[in-house]
Amino acid sequence: MAERRGAPGPLEYTRRFWVRAWLAATFLFLYAPIVILVVFSFNDSRRNIVWRGFTTKYYAKAMANDSLIEAFTNSLVVAFLSTLVSTVLGTLLALALWRFRFPGKPVVEGANALPIVIPEICMGVSLLVFFSSIGLMSGIPWPASLTPIVIGHIAFSFPFVAVVVRARLEGFDRSLEEASKDLGASEWQTLRYVMIPFLKPGIVAGALLAMTLSLDDFVITFFTSGPETITFPIKIYSMVRFGATPEVNAASTVLIAITLLLTVIAMRMQAPVRGEGKE
């Protein structure tokens, strides 16, 4: 291209050789493992070390593995429920902290950050102790048996949602809220028609974060899952202990595909409101 000739401009970092090399190395470091995982899911070999030809039979095999499918379903159900609840809770918490002044507010704010900083292992143990002591850990039929996991996931992911939404709120022009009320809208209508549309990118980002946290959580799930309830990461872990088979790769690839799809959807929803940032 014509404009590529000449000395690099001040912001054209990507035209310098060493910057490009660095970028390439970074991408390699980040994505090579994932690419290899995906590629080898199509490898026609039991041992999964040398490439032996293309096949999709491990996908079929993974599909036929009932306990894997069950774990996968569990993970999706848990992720869905905990994302839903923690998004609502986190958003409300952010709104409350932004909107009101009340006694003990700094305490609430601090307590809110706790689940983010507490080591997961501690949270896992404490949840286990808690759930066992109230008898929620065993002898419950299927969907309800996921309750402890869902609650555990909500507990550690809603503060993340709150943090993200709160950051977005800082940029909110309060006179929009006043204008809405001035025009006759109730508190609720103002929330629904003015605040939520403005907060949407933050809420979506928070939800995505909550979902990712839930989908791949191992430690807390490990402690809060009963003997019969198993989620995808835990199932994979138990499978890998007997050697990483292409079946594991196949299942993981499906999960990656789902995550990617959701991320794309989220990014489209996150496209900033037009007109914002001007003025």
Smallest gap from Cβ 183 to other proteins, in A, equals 3
Judged by beta carbon, residue 54 or residue 188, the one nearer other proteins is 188
Contacting residues toward other proteins, per CB under 8 A: 173, 175-176, 178-186, 189, 193-194, 197-198, 273-276, 278-279
Q: Minimum distance between the CB of residue 99 and other proteins, rounded to whole angstroms?
A: 14
Taking the complex as a whole, how short is the minimal distance between the CB of residue 134 and other proteins, in angstroms?
A: 43
Q: Which is nearer to other proteins, 177 or 217 (CB)?
A: 177
Using the minimum distance from each CB to other proteins, give the nearer residue, 10 or 275. Answer: 275
Instruction: Considering the complex, state which of residue 46 and residue 181 has its C-beta at the smaller distance from other proteins.
Output: 181
Compare residues 83 and 180 and give the one whose CB is closer to other proteins: 180
Min dist CB 173 to other proteins, Å, is 7
Please report how close the Cβ of residue 162 comes to other proteins at its closest, in angstroms.
23
HEC profile for the chain? CHHHCCCCCCCCHHHCHHHHHHHHHHHHHHHHHHHHHHHHCCECCCCCCCCCCECCHHHHHHHHCHHHHHHHHHHHHHHHHHHHHHHHHHHHHHHHHHHCCCCCHHHHHHHHHHHHHCCHHHHHHHHHHHHHHCCCCCCCCHHHHCHHHHHHHHHHHHHHHHHHHHHHHCCCCHHHHHHHHHCCCCHHHHHHHHHHHHHHHHHHHHHHHHHHHHHCCCHHHHHHCCCCCCCHHHHHHHHHCCCCCHHHHHHHHHHHHHHHHHHHHHHHHHCCCCCCCCC
Q: In angstroms, give the least distance from the CB of 9 to other proteins.
A: 29
Nearer to other proteins, 106 or 277 (CB): 277
